[in-house]
Amino acid sequence: MSVERKLFGTDGVRGEVGAFLSAELAMSLGRAAVASLDVDRPQVLIVRDTRESGPMLEQALAAGIAAAGGDALLGGVLPTPAAAILVKRLGLDLAAVVSASHNPFHDNGIKFFDSRGVKLADEVEARIEALIEAAPGAERKGQVRELNGGLADYLRELQSAFRLDLSGRKVLLDCANGATCRAAPAIFERLGAEVEAIGVEPDGRNINAGCGSTHIGPLAERVAASEAEIGFAFDGDGDRVLAVDGNGKIHDGDELIALAARGMAARQELRGGVVVTVMSNFGFHQAMAEAGIEVAVTQVGDRYVIDEMRRRGWPLGGEQSGHIICSDFTSTGDGIAAALMTMRELGGRDLADTVPMERVPQRMINVEVGDRDALEGAKPVWEAVRDEEAPLEGRGRILLRPSGTEPLVRVMVEAPDADEADAICERLAAVVRRELA
């Protein structure tokens, strides 16, 4: 049963700085997070991305941690997955990340990882919310100090996990003017690759702006026009990645997960199957069935993928959007690790010559509605879905779901033919508008 939370969403507390996320709220979250721990003088790591609001929120969060009797260790600008790695490596009690991931610069957020490097459970986040008003200050205040060497530690973990020789490989990286600006080029160069990097000049406002995994077109064009054999685009906080082959073709998370799953299965490293979300392409499921690889499906959100991976003891999972988790390395999505995993699976092959799955044409329409929760009881909508699903059985699929944050219903259709997918999607969207708009 889900736990109701008012501040925390699927990936921490996130919103527009000033209008929602303030220094006062950050301080309260820091104080409440420490109060939720049954630890004497907790040690809490804080890392952030490159947004102009990052230093302000970092300092406010640290002040709340210290006020509650914890010590705040400031790691500076580092990818989100580095926090999950470092909290375990350094034996700390909690890690906090100040980032709004792929959102524009005027948004920011705060999310937490426990001492195992795992995102907090819904119940723990609900307890933190309850303590925001009630959490008292501590008689003995904590300290705020800089943590040196965090980037070096993270790079060592990556190099140790992916013992690759990339000598002679030409790689183009788009770091989204975000948290991977230093780490991604550094690890590829350390492994011997010839690296060209774009999106590595953050100014506080250009994070995710026309670059990175949410705007991969410029990288695709640049790779196609260059001598690079492959390109990787990260998002602002570095927990997701998409790839581009030497011809400029984009490869999403489904394709990268399929590539890894096939390789790991061939080496008998998969230890079960792979976990994806309801958004994964029908072609992914077909490819895994052909390879004899079991697939488990969760709701959208990498935290749900991770929970299912842990429950089943499976080492691989992720999302179409590029969140890819290999639990043999880390407990959360890591864009740089996923890029290195892709290079490992390719060996000496080009991504352009590798076909781990055949995508089924997909069409999605976001329909604005008055009440997204009314979808569940909208009988005419589900009758229309059943009528459209019958001819698609074994050939494609239909997915309707409410947005988690906006007054929208997402209508997605996959079919062997793009025109067929478009037509079905348009018909269903019209029914949703008629019944719920």
Shared domain for 186 and 269, answered yes or no, is yes
Place of tokens 């020789």: 165
Shared domain for 185 and 85, answered yes or no, is no
Residue 48 amino acid letter: R
Confidence at residue 5, expressed as pLDDT on a 0 to 100 scale: 75
Confidence at residue 405, expressed as pLDDT on a 0 to 100 scale: 67
Confidence at residue 44, expressed as pLDDT on a 0 to 100 scale: 98
What CATH number is attached to the domain comprising 69? Answer: 3.40.120.10
Shared domain for 184 and 216, answered yes or no, is yes
Asked if residues 82 and 183 have their Cβ atoms less than 8 Å apart, the reply is yes
Give the residue from 91, 113, 148 where a domain finishes.
148
Does residue 3 lie within any of the structural domains? Answer: no
Does residue 52 lie within any of the structural domains? Answer: yes
Shared domain for 269 and 407, answered yes or no, is no
Give the residue from 102, 125, 148 where a domain finishes.
148
Confidence at residue 1, expressed as pLDDT on a 0 to 100 scale: 42
Shared domain for 201 and 143, answered yes or no, is no
Domain total in the chain:
3
Shared domain for 178 and 294, answered yes or no, is yes
Spans in the chain with pLDDT lower than 50: 1
Neighbouring CB atoms inside 10 A of 379's CB total 8
In terms of residue numbers, what domain contains 123?
A: 8-148
Shared domain for 120 and 229, answered yes or no, is no
Closest CA to 243 of 362, 359, 338, 360: 338
Specify the 3-state DSSP secondary structure of 112: strand
Catalytic residues: 101
Give the residue from 97, 120, 148 where a domain finishes.
148
Shared domain for 218 and 347, answered yes or no, is yes
What CATH number is attached to the domain comprising 430? Answer: 3.30.310.50
